[in-house]
Amino acid sequence: MDDESKGLLKRIADALTKTPEPVQHANMTEFENLKKELDAEKAKTAELVNLKQEIATLKAEKATAEKDAKWNAMKANLPEGWLGAKEPETRKEFEADPGAFALKVVAFKNTQPQGQKAEGAGVAGGSGDMGSTEEQKFANMAAEVAKATGIQFV
Protein backbone atom coordinates (compact mmCIF):
# COMPACT_ATOMS: atom_id res chain seq x y z
CA MET A 1 0.00 0.00 0.00
CA ASP A 2 1.23 3.37 -0.75
CA ASP A 3 1.51 6.21 1.70
CA GLU A 4 -1.47 7.98 0.30
CA SER A 5 -3.74 4.97 0.83
CA LYS A 6 -2.34 4.39 4.31
CA GLY A 7 -3.08 8.00 5.22
CA LEU A 8 -6.58 7.72 3.86
CA LEU A 9 -7.26 4.50 5.77
CA LYS A 10 -5.84 6.01 8.94
CA ARG A 11 -8.18 9.01 8.69
CA ILE A 12 -11.13 6.70 8.10
CA ALA A 13 -10.15 4.52 11.07
CA ASP A 14 -9.68 7.58 13.29
CA ALA A 15 -13.05 8.95 12.23
CA LEU A 16 -14.75 5.64 13.03
CA THR A 17 -13.10 5.16 16.41
CA LYS A 18 -13.15 8.76 17.52
CA THR A 19 -15.59 9.45 20.37
CA PRO A 20 -17.53 12.66 20.14
CA GLU A 21 -16.62 15.32 22.62
CA PRO A 22 -19.09 15.51 25.49
CA VAL A 23 -21.55 18.30 24.90
CA GLN A 24 -23.36 17.40 28.07
CA HIS A 25 -21.90 20.19 30.18
CA ALA A 26 -24.41 22.70 28.86
CA ASN A 27 -27.21 20.15 29.12
CA MET A 28 -26.15 19.09 32.63
CA THR A 29 -26.30 22.68 33.85
CA GLU A 30 -29.75 23.09 32.36
CA PHE A 31 -30.80 19.74 33.84
CA GLU A 32 -29.58 20.76 37.31
CA ASN A 33 -31.43 24.06 37.06
CA LEU A 34 -34.64 22.29 36.05
CA LYS A 35 -34.19 19.82 38.89
CA LYS A 36 -33.84 22.70 41.39
CA GLU A 37 -36.95 24.38 39.98
CA LEU A 38 -38.87 21.12 40.25
CA ASP A 39 -37.82 20.69 43.88
CA ALA A 40 -38.88 24.27 44.63
CA GLU A 41 -42.28 23.69 43.03
CA LYS A 42 -42.72 20.46 44.98
CA ALA A 43 -42.01 22.37 48.20
CA LYS A 44 -44.57 25.03 47.24
CA THR A 45 -47.14 22.34 46.46
CA ALA A 46 -46.56 20.67 49.82
CA GLU A 47 -46.95 24.04 51.55
CA LEU A 48 -50.23 24.66 49.70
CA VAL A 49 -51.54 21.25 50.77
CA ASN A 50 -50.64 22.05 54.38
CA LEU A 51 -52.35 25.44 54.14
CA LYS A 52 -55.49 23.85 52.69
CA GLN A 53 -55.60 21.41 55.58
CA GLU A 54 -55.10 24.23 58.06
CA ILE A 55 -57.92 26.23 56.45
CA ALA A 56 -60.24 23.22 56.62
CA THR A 57 -59.38 22.75 60.30
CA LEU A 58 -60.00 26.43 61.06
CA LYS A 59 -63.33 26.37 59.22
CA ALA A 60 -64.41 23.31 61.19
CA GLU A 61 -63.36 24.96 64.47
CA LYS A 62 -65.25 28.13 63.55
CA ALA A 63 -68.39 26.18 62.66
CA THR A 64 -68.18 24.29 65.96
CA ALA A 65 -67.68 27.53 67.89
CA GLU A 66 -70.70 29.10 66.16
CA LYS A 67 -72.84 26.04 66.95
CA ASP A 68 -71.68 26.14 70.56
CA ALA A 69 -72.45 29.86 70.86
CA LYS A 70 -75.95 29.41 69.43
CA TRP A 71 -76.60 26.44 71.69
CA ASN A 72 -75.35 28.28 74.79
CA ALA A 73 -77.58 31.26 73.97
CA MET A 74 -80.58 28.98 73.57
CA LYS A 75 -79.67 26.90 76.63
CA ALA A 76 -79.61 30.06 78.75
CA ASN A 77 -83.26 30.70 77.81
CA LEU A 78 -84.56 27.20 78.41
CA PRO A 79 -86.88 26.67 81.36
CA GLU A 80 -85.46 25.09 84.50
CA GLY A 81 -85.38 21.31 84.36
CA TRP A 82 -85.68 21.27 80.56
CA LEU A 83 -82.29 19.64 79.92
CA GLY A 84 -81.07 17.36 82.67
CA ALA A 85 -79.64 14.08 81.39
CA LYS A 86 -81.12 14.54 77.92
CA GLU A 87 -79.00 17.56 76.97
CA PRO A 88 -77.23 15.80 74.03
CA GLU A 89 -80.54 14.79 72.45
CA THR A 90 -81.99 18.24 73.05
CA ARG A 91 -78.96 19.85 71.44
CA LYS A 92 -79.25 17.56 68.38
CA GLU A 93 -82.90 18.53 68.07
CA PHE A 94 -81.99 22.23 68.32
CA GLU A 95 -79.19 21.96 65.74
CA ALA A 96 -81.40 19.99 63.34
CA ASP A 97 -84.11 22.68 63.24
CA PRO A 98 -83.57 25.75 65.45
CA GLY A 99 -86.85 27.37 64.43
CA ALA A 100 -89.00 24.38 65.32
CA PHE A 101 -87.12 23.95 68.58
CA ALA A 102 -87.65 27.63 69.48
CA LEU A 103 -91.37 27.27 68.77
CA LYS A 104 -91.46 24.18 70.98
CA VAL A 105 -89.82 26.14 73.83
CA VAL A 106 -92.22 29.06 73.37
CA ALA A 107 -95.20 26.70 73.37
CA PHE A 108 -93.88 25.02 76.51
CA LYS A 109 -93.37 28.36 78.27
CA ASN A 110 -96.87 29.46 77.27
CA THR A 111 -98.41 26.38 78.89
CA GLN A 112 -96.60 26.89 82.20
CA PRO A 113 -98.30 28.86 84.95
CA GLN A 114 -96.76 32.28 85.40
CA GLY A 115 -96.34 33.99 88.74
CA GLN A 116 -98.98 36.69 88.72
CA LYS A 117 -98.58 40.05 90.37
CA ALA A 118 -101.25 41.35 92.66
CA GLU A 119 -103.61 43.93 91.22
CA GLY A 120 -102.15 47.38 91.25
CA ALA A 121 -98.56 46.12 91.44
CA GLY A 122 -95.99 47.65 89.16
CA VAL A 123 -96.35 50.87 87.22
CA ALA A 124 -99.51 52.86 86.94
CA GLY A 125 -102.20 50.98 85.17
CA GLY A 126 -103.00 48.39 87.81
CA SER A 127 -104.16 45.06 86.49
CA GLY A 128 -103.47 46.19 82.94
CA ASP A 129 -99.79 45.42 83.59
CA MET A 130 -100.33 41.69 83.24
CA GLY A 131 -100.83 41.66 79.47
CA SER A 132 -97.92 43.97 78.77
CA THR A 133 -95.62 41.99 81.10
CA GLU A 134 -96.41 38.76 79.28
CA GLU A 135 -95.92 40.47 75.96
CA GLN A 136 -92.62 41.89 77.17
CA LYS A 137 -91.46 38.44 78.34
CA PHE A 138 -92.35 36.97 74.96
CA ALA A 139 -90.64 39.85 73.15
CA ASN A 140 -87.50 39.37 75.24
CA MET A 141 -87.44 35.64 74.64
CA ALA A 142 -88.13 36.11 70.93
CA ALA A 143 -85.24 38.57 70.75
CA GLU A 144 -82.93 36.04 72.44
CA VAL A 145 -84.05 33.29 70.07
CA ALA A 146 -83.55 35.62 67.09
CA LYS A 147 -80.09 36.51 68.33
CA ALA A 148 -79.16 32.86 68.86
CA THR A 149 -80.68 31.36 65.73
CA GLY A 150 -81.31 34.22 63.32
CA ILE A 151 -85.05 33.38 63.27
CA GLN A 152 -87.30 36.30 64.10
CA PHE A 153 -90.84 36.13 65.45
CA VAL A 154 -93.41 38.72 64.49
Residue 106 lies in a domain: yes
**Would you state the pLDDT for residue 58?**
95
| Inside any domain, residue 5 | no
In a domain, 98, yes or no: yes
Q: What's the pLDDT at 131?
A: 52
pLDDT of residue 123: 46
* Cβ density class 96-113: b for 16+ within 10 Å, e for less: eebeebbeebbeebeeee
pLDDT of residue 82: 75
The structural domain count of the chain equals: 1
CB atoms within 10 A of CB 70: 17
Domain around 75:
23-114+125-149
Query: What is the pLDDT, as a whole number, of residue 20?
Result: 64
Residue 28 lies in a domain: yes
How many Cβ atoms sit within 10 Å of the Cβ of residue 57? 10
Kindly report whether the global pTM for this prediction surpasses the value 0.75: no
pLDDT given at position 13: 81
> Is 83 within a domain?
yes
Task: Give the per-residue pLDDT at 119.
Answer: 44
Residue pLDDT tens, the chain, 154 long: 678 888 888 888 887 777 766 555 567 888 889 999 999 999 999 999 999 999 999 999 999 999 899 888 888 878 777 777 788 888 888 888 888 888 888 888 777 766 544 444 444 444 444 456 777 777 777 777 777 777 776 6
The answer to whether residues 142 and 132 touch, using CB atoms and an 8 Å cutoff, is no
DSSP string, 74-135: HHHTSPTTSSGGGHHHHHHHHHH-HHHHHHHHHHHHHHSPPPPPPTT-SSTTGGGHHHHHHH
Residue 8 lies in a domain: no
Identify whether 85 is part of a domain. Answer: yes
So what's the pLDDT on residue 47? 94
Q: Within a domain: residue 3?
A: no
